[in-house]
Amino acid sequence: MVYTGVCNFNSRHGCLKCTTVGEYSHQYHTVVFPNSRCPKRTNEEFRNKKYRDRLKSDTPLLKLPIDMIEDFPISDSLHLIDLGVMKRLLVGWRDGNFKNLTTKWRADDTLKVTQFLLTCKLPSEIHRSMRGLDELHHWKASEFRSFFYYLSIVILPDFMSKGPYEHFLTLFCGVTICSSLKYSSILDLSHELLLYFVENFKTYYGNYITSNIHNLVHITDEVRKFGPLNTFNSYPFENKLYCIKKMLRAGNKPLSQIAKRLTESDWNVKSKLSKAKNETNQYPVIKTNSKNRKIIDFGMFVISNKIQDKYFMTTEEEIIEVAEITDEHIKGYRIENVSDIFELPIKSSYLNMFKTGVQNGNRTTEIISFNNVSYKFVVTTNKNELYFIPLLHTLII
Q: How far apart are CA 9 and CA 24, in angstroms?
A: 13
On whether residue 318 sits in a domain, the answer given is yes
On whether residue 258 sits in a domain, the answer given is no
On whether residue 179 sits in a domain, the answer given is yes
Compute φ and ψ for 136, nearest 5 degrees: -55, -40
Across the chain, mean pLDDT equals 91
Q: How far apart are CA 296 and CA 372, in angstroms?
A: 13
Q: Give me the pLDDT at residue 290, please.
A: 73
The residue-averaged pLDDT of 230-244 equals 88
356 pLDDT higher than 80: yes
- Are both 217 and 88 inside the same structural domain? yes
Among residues 231, 253, 271, the one where a domain terminates is: 231
- Are both 309 and 362 inside the same structural domain? yes
Q: Give me the pLDDT at residue 57, please.
A: 82
Determine how β-strand 302-303 pairs with β-strand 294-297. Answer: antiparallel
Could you tell me the CA-to-CA distances from 43 to 48, 51, 79, 95, 222 in Å, in that order? 9, 11, 25, 42, 15
Q: Give me the pLDDT at residue 2, please.
A: 44
- Are both 212 and 319 inside the same structural domain? no
Q: Give me the pLDDT at residue 351, please.
A: 98
Crossing angle, helix 162-177 and helix 219-226, to 10 degrees? 20
- Are both 68 and 146 inside the same structural domain? no
7 pLDDT higher than 50: yes
Q: How far apart are CA 75 and CA 86, in angstroms?
A: 14
- Are both 2 and 109 inside the same structural domain? no
16 pLDDT higher than 80: yes
The more confidently predicted of residues 152 and 266 is 152
- Digit-coded pLDDT (tens) for 50-84: 988 888 888 889 999 999 999 999 999 999 999 99
Q: How far apart are CA 77 and CA 84, in angstroms?
A: 8
The residue-averaged pLDDT of 375-385 equals 96
Please return the burial class of 362, using the count of CB atoms within 10 Å of its CB with bins 0-12, 13-18 and 19+: exposed
- Digit-coded pLDDT (tens) for 270-285: 555 555 555 556 889 9
- Are both 221 and 312 inside the same structural domain? no
- Are both 84 and 219 inside the same structural domain? yes
Could you tell me the CA-to-CA distances from 200 to 189, 196, 205 in Å, in that order? 16, 6, 9
Instruction: Using pLDDT thresholds of 50, 70 and 90, give the confidence band for residue 180.
Output: very high
Among residues 188, 203, 231, the one where a domain terminates is: 231
Q: How far apart are CA 88 and CA 85, in angstroms?
A: 5
On whether residue 34 sits in a domain, the answer given is yes
| Amino acid (1-letter code) at residue 318 | E
- Are both 201 and 300 inside the same structural domain? no
On whether residue 249 sits in a domain, the answer given is no
- Are both 344 and 202 inside the same structural domain? no
Residue pair 15/21 in contact by the 8 Å Cβ criterion = no
- Are both 189 and 329 inside the same structural domain? no
The residue-averaged pLDDT of 11-34 equals 92
Q: How far apart are CA 49 and CA 71, in angstroms?
A: 18
361 pLDDT higher than 80: no
Q: Tally the domains of the chain.
A: 3
On whether residue 264 sits in a domain, the answer given is no
On whether residue 350 sits in a domain, the answer given is yes
Question: Longest C-alpha distance within the chain, in Å?
Answer: 72
Specify which residues 18 forms β-bridges with: 40
Q: Give me the pLDDT at residue 329, please.
A: 94
Q: Give me the pLDDT at residue 1, please.
A: 47
- Are both 82 and 225 inside the same structural domain? yes
Q: For every residue of the chain, which 3-state class applies, written as one string?
A: CHHHCECCCCCCCCCCCECCCCEEECCCCEEECCCCCCCECCHHHHHCCCCCCCECCCCHHHHCCCCCCCCCCCCCHHHHHHHHHHHHHHHHHHHCCCCCHHHCCCHHHHHHHHHHHHHCCCCCCCCCCCCCHHHHHHCCHHHHHHHHHHHHHHHHHHCCCHHHHHHHHHHHHHHHHCCCHHHHHHHHHHHHHHHHHHHCHHHHHCCCCCHHHHHHHHHHHHHHHHCCHHHCCCHHHHHHHHHHHHHCCCCCCHHHHHHHHHHHHHHHHHHHHHHHCCCCCCCCEEEECCCCCEEEECCCCEECCCCCCCEEEECCCCEEEEEEECCCCEEEEECCCCECCCCCCCCHHHHCCEEEECCCCCCCEEEECHHHEEEEEEEEEECCEEEEEECHHHCCC
- Digit-coded pLDDT (tens) for 114-149: 999 999 999 999 999 999 999 999 999 999 999 999
- Are both 86 and 212 inside the same structural domain? yes
Residue pair 229/223 in contact by the 8 Å Cβ criterion = yes
Whole-number percent of the chain with pLDDT over 90 = 73
Range of the domain at 13: 1-72
- Digit-coded pLDDT (tens) for 299-335: 999 999 999 999 999 999 999 999 999 999 999 999 9
Among residues 49, 72, 95, the one where a domain terminates is: 72
Crossing angle, helix 162-177 and helix 187-199, to 10 degrees? 140
Q: In terms of Cα–Cα distance, which of 396, 373, 391, 355 is closest to 123?
A: 391
Whole-model pTM over 0.85: yes
Q: Give me the pLDDT at residue 249, please.
A: 86
The residue-averaged pLDDT of 93-98 equals 90
Specify which residues 238 forms β-bridges with: none
Q: Give me the pLDDT at residue 179, please.
A: 97
Determine how β-strand 365-368 pairs with β-strand 302-303. Answer: unpaired
On whether residue 271 sits in a domain, the answer given is no
